[in-house]
């Protein structure tokens, strides 16, 4: 793989992209990136790419006559006077001045020269000096300036994903899904996208620590050797390996070998999120561990019970794809269009809840009763015990208040739908519910015939020891050596376990981890060893459908080899080598090959060729997993349901419940130091850099709080402080907070002051829910950095001018209808706004004769607002993170954003949500272009609204005149700035103009060299990933020329539809974004633009957007709204006399 691993790599770009002069070592880098001087240790030069050379080739006849080996003519060589005179004349203009004896002239020229030098300021500015190391020999398979993609894979929470990594000159700069992967497809999530930034995290661990003091890998190895010997003598008694969940066959193989070598040793897996609820639930329901994976593509009715399938779930990607496939509106005949219907029953508001066709707000604590009511209504008959248990639970006091008056209709329709969709419906219950509810849901699914059709039942291997048992034995002094591979229990273990205290009782603790965080900083931690990133090490993963992928490294560990940089399998391998001797492979490469040799049964050259294919395609397609035949055990379920009924409060529980949710950004906290994820707005609240104590508006009012009130939450004998934030649509008497925030400095610099840590509230018995919480205001206020509803959400919550304004325009901005009314009014989207006048101030540029007309279509029906596109865009286009204080100022830099609206007249109780991704619309009649005084934003020949950074002086007029407000201004040098938090003092922002290196060389390595890094004072915005368009053009034009096309003049080459994929399009899990050429009538985007559902947002302004939306068609259980577009029709009257064809419906 990549041969270089040090930070010199990006600087090599400068050398390679320039005019290609060979350079010797230690020349100083040139700022302008062109040309390299060839002498040693020359100082940096700014201007010109003149490859200065020690040989002066200017005309010097006298030199020629003295026998230099270079001459220009025979005359010069023979010192012919005439020739010399001619040579002198050749440069007469300069030589006359300089060689003439006119002193005044000389002084004039010199003076002018000095003045020019001064005006150019070349002499005054110090350019940063940095060393470059040339590639003296060209590495194989690499063309300078051309990116290479490699397939690789990542394991996330025990689930394997197939990836494709783009590498530029040895630096991985972008991760995407592997398009060929049969299970995941080529899409990705924000988490996957941002893993590449994690690779270059300057705060990642790069140093071995022994008891808090810097140490070396050698020291660790010798310590490990001692431990291995000692443990081997006891057959591993007292040896425990604590890992995270994994799907890796090699890891499982290593664990098996480990257990074989140390028979009495234990292996514990710990993940704070996605625990064992489902496993335990299946144990109750089926008597065995079953992983039931929803197959939403087969479902027409989807019921999510306290489950957010689209975000905060490791299956999110797959769920969104299959859900979207089941509802995309593409039928030629609208009356034949079908759509699945998703009900979401939840306490908070989740991404899925916003995308749901019908949503019911039910408290988490009341969910068991709700499920029982559903089971009762469906008439679940397993046996009489189960029936009576369900009846008992369904008649608990809570049942009276769960389904409100307005929601009864929805509930009845839900029951009706489920009854009518046997075999094509599925209920999924989230891990926020106890195992007993999982078991009850399994019984319902079975009666609905879901198993094997909409649910894939896969038997799981036996469970390992749990964390509570481990802590118990640690406290009992039974653990002598604890090896923690990745997991961070000191931060995220249930608070009642007090893992840190238990660890103090273990004499030998070694931790191999990517960050030196809470567990590694613990005083009981003997050794901390840096872990390698998955892009730096070999491994393998297994997707939920059984497809295996090899995790191929793209770069050598960016850690001094003397300082560790092992992967988890390598750490286990080291342990085994210490015990079993050198016969064991120590590097990941050999281990992974050994595993797959064994799994495939191939050897020798057959294996080698298969191995190469696997690496190339990124996967080893195995036998697809078929659903196991399992049947439920009603009596056990009945017992479980009775237990639930026992646990229900005797009277109606009016206390506030505290729910722990999964964070859509930092997940369980593992991404706390990832700037892209920290700054990613939460899909629902739009809060960045923080989590918050969320509650409904009514609850907030009842508690006497307002947005940002600091509160003390007391629950289950524990308390925490957090700031309150209202979420319209959330269930009342419930507060929720996401896990994984508030880690502080131990997670890295970016995590400082980012949110509130909810883990201390969470115990083994209250993993997801604490009843009877009290919330008290402390009186302090907290300011959130959110990218929407700036100022205050509170203000928008009071029926007011802004709220009415939003509701009034919403039907025209986000056009939506129900499936039923779509069938009768398929062209409703064209009727939402009537536009009589469309006249321009000037003659418009019609872009006639454009070779391509790039355009985009965004399908609102399938967009869930998951925000994967936002991170993908950030990753592709070098979009900086700006930090919390700048987001508070409203200066986030995203080129694409997800707009979220609450629908309905009552701002506190929305009757729906609207989600809309907004990027630059590339208006053909662009308002930004007309107002730029320096022509810094102009159309290119293909109709892309381009931003010319070099030309921009930053008047910001374009942004003011942009109706979509998609332009982003570099208020500071964000790329050079540390994204630090609020600084104090009046000069909080320091002039950093002469800071030459920027925040960190590491972070800069992620930058995409194909995209300009913008300086302060310039405007930027979505470019339709113009670098990808250019790359495709070059490729297809070359092919065309090779095939006999004529270069120059009118080139007639074509680019096939789908050859250019924008970053957002590539990532979108719901495949809601389509990009292509409108000149090609067969392209997907042409067809979508021609669809009756297609509309341009604000196109009544005559801006002619190239990005159009496919109006949203939902399939609600109860269709209150006829197509909304007609609810408000401004300027309905059309004076046909002046516009015969312009007055058409927009």
* Least distance to another protein, CB of residue 1145, Å: 16
Minimum Å gap between C-beta 433 and another protein is 33
Contact residue for another protein among 67, 123, 933, 1048 (CB under 8 A): 933
Residue choice 934, 941, 1030, 1034 for contact with another protein (CB under 8 A): 934
Q: Cβ 790 to another protein, closest distance in Å?
A: 4
- What residues contact residue 214 under an 8 Å CB cut-off, 6+ apart? 207, 208
Beta strands in 445-600, from DSSP E residues, in sequence order: 455-459, 481-485, 508-513, 527-530, 539-542, 548-551
Alpha helices in 18-138 (DSSP H): 61-65, 74-77, 81-90, 92-99, 103-120
**Contacting another protein (CB under 8 A), which of 234, 291, 472, 809?**
809
Does residue 841 bind another protein (CB under 8 A)? Answer: yes
Q: CB–CB of 902/729 below 8 Å?
A: yes
Q: Give the contact letters, 1006-1025, x = binds to another protein (CB under 8 A), - = no.
A: ---------xxxxx------
Interaction of residue 798 with another protein, rule CB under 8 A: no
In the complex with another protein, which residue's Cβ is closer, 334 or 802? 802
Other CB atoms within 10 A of residue 229 CB: 11
930 binds another protein (CB under 8 A): yes
Beta strand 854-859 with 1073-1077 is antiparallel
Point out which span in 135-143, 956-964, 1084-1092, 1109-1117 binds another protein (CB under 8 A).
Answer: 956-964
Instruction: Considering the complex, state which of residue 78 and residue 960 has its C-beta at the smaller distance from another protein.
Output: 960
Of 71 and 957, CB closest to another protein = 957
Rounded to an integer, what distance in angstroms lies between the CA atom of residue 650 and that of residue 389? 16
The token duo for 853 is 């007309």
* Position 46 contacts another protein (CB under 8 A): no
Quick check: 422 and 449 in contact, CB under 8 A?
Answer: yes
Name the minimum Å distance from CB 121 to another protein: 10
3-state helix, strand, coil in the chain (%, to 5): 35, 15, 50
CA pair distance 968, 319, nearest whole angstrom: 33
Pick the stretch among 298-306, 923-931, 1052-1060, 1135-1143 that binds another protein (CB under 8 A). 923-931
Residue 1110, both tokens: 């496919």
Q: Is residue 968 part of the contact set for another protein (CB under 8 A)?
A: yes
Q: How far is the CB of 126 from another protein (least distance, A)?
A: 16
Let me know: does 871 contact 680? Beta carbons within 8 Å: yes
1101 lines the binding site for another protein (CB under 8 A): yes
Q: What's the closest the beta carbon of residue 938 comes to another protein, in angstroms?
A: 8
123 binds another protein (CB under 8 A): no
Residue 522 near residue 490, CB atoms below 8 Å: yes
Does residue 1143 belong to the site contacting another protein (CB under 8 A)? no
Crossing angle for the helix pair 384-394 and 367-378, to the nearest 10 degrees: 130
By the rule CB under 8 A, 995 interacts with another protein: no
Is residue 969 close enough to count as binding another protein by CB under 8 A? yes
Task: Establish if 805 lies at the interface with another protein (CB under 8 A).
Answer: yes
Chosen residue from 401, 464, 706, 961 binding another protein by CB under 8 A: 961
Residue 973 found at the interface with another protein (CB under 8 A): yes
Identify which range of 230-238, 342-350, 922-930, 1106-1114 contacts another protein by CB under 8 A: 922-930
Per-residue b or e along 1020-1033, where b marks 16 or more CB atoms closer than 10 Å to that residue's CB = bbbbbbbbbbebeb
Among 188, 283, 339, 970, binds another protein (CB under 8 A): 970
DSSP 430: -
Cα–Cα distance between 736 and 757 in angstroms, integer? 12
Quick one: tokens of 256? 């098996």
Entry field: residues in the chain: 1146
Among 469, 616, 808, 844, binds another protein (CB under 8 A): 808
Closest approach of another protein to the CB of residue 995, in Å: 12
DSSP assignments along 579-620, one per residue: HH-TTS--SHHHHHHHHHHHHH---HHHHHHHHHHHHHHS-B
834 binds another protein (CB under 8 A): no
| Contacting range for another protein; rule: CB under 8 A; set: 19-27, 206-214, 650-658, 971-979 | 971-979
Rounded-to-integer distance, Cα 874 and Cα 876, Å = 6
Using CB under 8 A as the binding rule, whether residue 660 contacts another protein is answered as no
Strand order, beta sheet including 358-361 = 358-361, 341-346, 301-305, 425-429
- Taking CB under 8 A as the rule, does residue 1131 contact another protein? yes
Residue 973 CB, nearest approach to another protein (Å): 7
Find the shortest distance in angstroms from Cβ 154 to another protein: 33
Under 8 Å between Cβ of 470 and 240: yes
C-alpha to C-alpha distance for 750 and 980, rounded to whole angstroms = 7
Beta carbon of residue 951, minimum distance to another protein (angstroms, whole number): 7
Tell me the C-alpha distance between 115 and 122, whole Å. 11
Closest CB to another protein among residues 533, 803 = 803
Which window, 275-283, 461-469, 727-735, 797-805, contacts another protein (CB under 8 A)? Answer: 797-805
Interface with another protein (CB under 8 A), residue from 813, 856, 1085, 1110 = 813
Q: Which is nearer to another protein, 615 or 806 (CB)?
A: 806
Nearer to another protein, 195 or 1021 (CB): 1021
Residue 118 near another protein by CB under 8 A: no
Rg (CA), the chain: 33
Interaction pattern, residues 756-795, with another protein; x per rule: CB under 8 A: --------------------------------xxxx---x
CB of 963 to another protein, least distance (A): 4
SS3 state of residue 386: helix
Cβ-Cβ contacts under 8 Å for 1002 (sequence gap 6 or more): 7, 200, 201, 202, 558
For another protein, the closer of residues 932 and 1117 by Cβ is: 932
Least distance from another protein to the Cβ atom of residue 888, Å? 9
Q: 728 CB contacts (<8 Å, ≥6 apart)?
A: 349, 696, 697, 797, 902, 907, 908, 909, 910
Any residues with CB less than 8 A from the CB of 837 and at least 6 apart, and which? 1138, 1139, 1142, 1143
> Residue 310 to residues 318, 438, 1070: CA-CA distances in angstroms?
9, 19, 10
DSSP class of residue 1083?
A: S
Give the count of residues interacting with another protein (CB under 8 A). 70
Q: How far is the CB of 1142 from another protein (least distance, A)?
A: 17
- At its nearest, how many Å lie between another protein and the CB of residue 1017? 3
- CB-wise, 562 or 953, nearer to another protein? 953
Residue 153 or 1019 with smaller CB distance to another protein: 1019
Identify the residue among 1057, 1087, 1128, 1134 touching another protein (CB under 8 A).
Answer: 1128
Apex 424 CA angle, 418 and 429, nearest 5: 65
Instruction: Give residues 876-905 in contact with another protein (rule: CB under 8 A).
Output: 886, 889-892, 897, 899-901
| Closest distance of CB 555 from another protein, Å | 34
Q: What is the DSSP letter of 598?
A: H
Could you say whether residue 845 binds another protein (CB under 8 A)?
no
Give the count of alpha carbons within 13 A of 900, CB side only. 27
Task: Name the 3-class secondary structure at 781.
Answer: strand
Instruction: Give the C-alpha separation, 967 to 846, whole Å.
Output: 23
Q: Does residue 956 touch another protein according to CB under 8 A?
A: yes
Binding site residues, another protein, CB under 8 A: 788-791, 795, 800-802, 805-806, 808-809, 812-813, 841-842, 886, 889-892, 897, 899-901, 918, 927, 929-935, 951-957, 959-961, 963-965, 968-973, 986-987, 989-993, 1015-1019, 1098, 1101, 1128, 1130-1131
């Amino acid at each position: 793989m990549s041969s270089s691993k040090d930070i010199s790599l990006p600087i090599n770009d400068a050398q390679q992209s320039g005019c290609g002069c060979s350079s010797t070592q230690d020349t100083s880098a040139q700022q302008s990136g062109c040309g390299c001087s060839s002498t040693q240790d020359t100082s940096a030069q700014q201007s010109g790419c003149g490859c200065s050379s020690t040989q002066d080739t200017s005309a010097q006849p006298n030199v020629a006559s003295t026998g230099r080996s270079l001459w220009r003519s025979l005359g010069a060589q023979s010192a012919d006077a005439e020739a010399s005179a001619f040579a002198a004349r050749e440069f007469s203009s300069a030589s006359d001045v300089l060689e003439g004896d006119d002193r005044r002239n000389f002084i004039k020229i010199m003076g002018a020269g000095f003045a020019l030098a001064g005006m150019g300021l070349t002499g005054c500015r110090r350019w940063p000096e940095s060393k470059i190391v040339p590639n003296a020999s060209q590495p194989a398979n690499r063309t300078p300036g051309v990116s290479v993609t490699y397939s690789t894979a990542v394991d996330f929470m025990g689930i394997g994903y197939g990836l494709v990594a783009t590498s530029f000159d040895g630096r991985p700069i972008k991760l995407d899904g592997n398009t060929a992967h049969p299970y995941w497809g080529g899409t990705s999530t924000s988490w996957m996208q941002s893993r590449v930034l994690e690779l270059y995290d300057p705060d990642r661990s790069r140093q071995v620590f022994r008891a808090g003091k810097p140490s070396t890998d050698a020291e660790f190895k010798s310590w490990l050797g001692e431990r291995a010997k000692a443990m081997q003598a006891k057959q591993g008694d007292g040896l425990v390996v604590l890992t995270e969940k994994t799907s890796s066959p090699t890891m499982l193989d290593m664990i098996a070998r480990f257990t074989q070598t140390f028979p009495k040793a234990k292996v514990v897996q710990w993940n704070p999120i996605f625990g064992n609820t489902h496993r335990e639930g299946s144990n109750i329901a089926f008597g065995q561990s079953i992983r039931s994976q929803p197959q939403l593509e087969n479902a027409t009715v989807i019921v999510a019970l306290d489950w957010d399938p689209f975000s905060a779930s490791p299956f999110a990607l797959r769920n969104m794809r299959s859900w979207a496939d089941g509802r995309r509106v593409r039928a030629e005949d609208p009356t034949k269009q079908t759509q699945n219907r998703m009900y979401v029953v939840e306490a908070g508001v989740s991404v899925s809840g916003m995308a749901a066709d019908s949503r019911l707000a039910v408290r988490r604590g009341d969910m068991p009763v709700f499920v029982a009511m559903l089971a009762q209504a469906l008439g679940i008959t397993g046996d009489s015990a189960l029936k009576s248990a369900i009846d008992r639970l369904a008649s608990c006091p809570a049942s009276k208040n769960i389904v409100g008056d307005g929601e009864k209709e929805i509930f009845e329709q839900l029951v009706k739908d489920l009854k009518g969709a046997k075999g094509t419906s599925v209920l999924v219950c989230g891990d926020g519910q106890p195992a007993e509810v999982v078991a009850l849901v399994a019984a319902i699914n079975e009666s609905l015939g879901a198993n094997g059709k909409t649910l894939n039942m896969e038997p799981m291997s036996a469970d390992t020891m749990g964390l509570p048992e481990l802590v118990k034995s640690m406290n009992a002094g039974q653990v002598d050596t604890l090896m923690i591979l990745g997991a961070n229990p000191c931060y995220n273990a249930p608070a009642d376990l007090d893992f840190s205290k238990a660890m103090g009782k273990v004499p030998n603790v070694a931790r191999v981890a990517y960050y030196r965080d809470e567990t590694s900083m613990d005083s009981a931690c003997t050794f901390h060893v840096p872990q390698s990133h998955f892009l730096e090490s070999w491994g393998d993963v297994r997707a939920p459908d059984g497809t295996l992928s090899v995790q191929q490294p793209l770069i050598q560990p960016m850690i001094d080899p003397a300082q560790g940089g092992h992967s988890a399998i390598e750490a286990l391998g080291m342990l085994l080598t210490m015990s079993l001797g050198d016969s064991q492979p120590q590097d990941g490469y050999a281990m992974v090959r050994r595993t797959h040799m064994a799994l495939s049964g191939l050897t020798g050259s057959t294996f080698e060729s298969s191995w190469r294919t696997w690496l190339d395609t990124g996967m080893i397609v195995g036998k697809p997993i078929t659903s196991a035949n399992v049947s439920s055990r009603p009596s056990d379920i009945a017992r479980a349901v009775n237990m639930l009924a026992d646990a229900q409060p005797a009277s109606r529980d009016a206390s506030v419940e505290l729910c722990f949710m999964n964070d859509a950004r930092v997940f369980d906290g593992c991404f706390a130091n990832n700037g892209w994820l920290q700054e990613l707005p939460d899909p629902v609240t739009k809060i960045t850099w923080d989590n918050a104590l969320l509650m409904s508006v009514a609850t907030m009012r009842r508690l006497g709080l307002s947005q940002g009130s600091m509160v003390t939450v007391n629950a289950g004998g524990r308390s925490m402080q957090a700031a309150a934030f209202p979420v319209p649509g959330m269930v009342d008497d419930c507060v929720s907070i996401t896990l994984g925030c508030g880690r502080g400095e131990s997670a890295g610099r970016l995590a400082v002051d980012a949110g509130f840590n909810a883990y201390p509230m969470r115990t083994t018995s209250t993993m997801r829910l604490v009843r009877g919480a009290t919330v008290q205001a402390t009186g302090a206020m907290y300011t959130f950095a959110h990218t929407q509803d700036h100022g205050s959400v509170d203000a928008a919550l009071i029926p007011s001018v802004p709220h009415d304004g939003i509701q009034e325009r919403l039907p025209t901005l986000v056009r939506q209808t129900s499936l039923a009314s779509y069938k009768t009014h398929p062209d409703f989207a064209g009727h939402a706004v009537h536009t009589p006048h469309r006249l321009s101030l000037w003659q418009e540029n019609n872009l006639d004769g454009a070779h391509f007309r790039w355009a985009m279509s965004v399908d609102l029906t399938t967009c869930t607002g998951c925000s994967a596109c936002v991170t993908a865009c950030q990753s592709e286009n070098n979009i900086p993170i700006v930090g919390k204080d700048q987001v508070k100022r409203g200066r986030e830099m995203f080129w694409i954003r997800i707009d979220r609206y609450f629908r309905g007249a009552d701002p506190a109780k929305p009757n729906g949500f609207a989600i809309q991704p907004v990027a630059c619309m590339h208006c053909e009649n662009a308002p930004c272009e007309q107002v730029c005084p320096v022509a810094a934003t102009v159309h290119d020949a293909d109709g892309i609204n381009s931003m010319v950074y070099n030309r921009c002086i930053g008047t910001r007029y374009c942004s003011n005149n942009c109706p979509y407000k998609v332009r982003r201004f570099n208020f500071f040098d964000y790329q050079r700035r540390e994204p630090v938090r609020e600084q104090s003092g009046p000069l909080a922002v320091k002039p950093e103009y002469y800071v030459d290196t920027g925040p960190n060389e590491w972070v800069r390595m992620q930058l995409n060299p194909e995209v300009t890094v913008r300086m302060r004072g310039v405007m930027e915005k979505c470019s339709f990933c113009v670098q990808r368009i250019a790359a495709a053009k070059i490729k297809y034009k070359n092919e065309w020329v090779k095939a006999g096309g004529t270069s120059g003049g009118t080139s007639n080459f074509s680019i096939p539809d789908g050859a250019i994929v924008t970053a957002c399009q590539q990532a979108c899990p719901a495949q809601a974004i389509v990009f292509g050429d409108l000149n090609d009538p067969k392209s997907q985007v042409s067809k979508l633009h021609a669809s009756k559902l297609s509309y341009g947002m604000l196109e009544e302004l005559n801006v002619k957007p190239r990005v159009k939306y496919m109006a949203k068609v939902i399939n609600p259980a109860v269709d209150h709204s006829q197509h909304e577009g007609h609810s408000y029709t401004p300027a309905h009257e059309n004076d046909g006399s002046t516009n015969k064809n312009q007055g058409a419906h927009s």
